[in-house]
Amino acid sequence: MDQVDLEVEHIARAFFAAWHETEAWENASRSLKHEFRLYARQAISMVEKRQEQVHRVELEVTPVRILETA
């Protein structure tokens, strides 16, 4: 299992634990685990997109800040 798969698995387990407080991940069906892995992948994708947006804004704003401090 590569690093991304491990991250997905950890996040999926966390989502599952938050949603199914009394049920163990190990006892969940394959389809339910798959569903929570999809949620995890979506969450990772959303975070990555947000980070890209923030980075893009920083690149747009940085030259202005440099000129203001000069």
In the chain, where does DSSP find H-type helix? 3-19, 30-69
Average pLDDT for the chain: 87
The helix/strand/coil state of 2 is coil
Reported as a single tens digit per residue, the pLDDT across 38-57 is 999 999 999 999 988 888 87
Reported as a single tens digit per residue, the pLDDT across 16-44 is 999 998 999 999 999 999 999 999 999 99
Reported as a single tens digit per residue, the pLDDT across 2-15 is 888 999 999 999 99
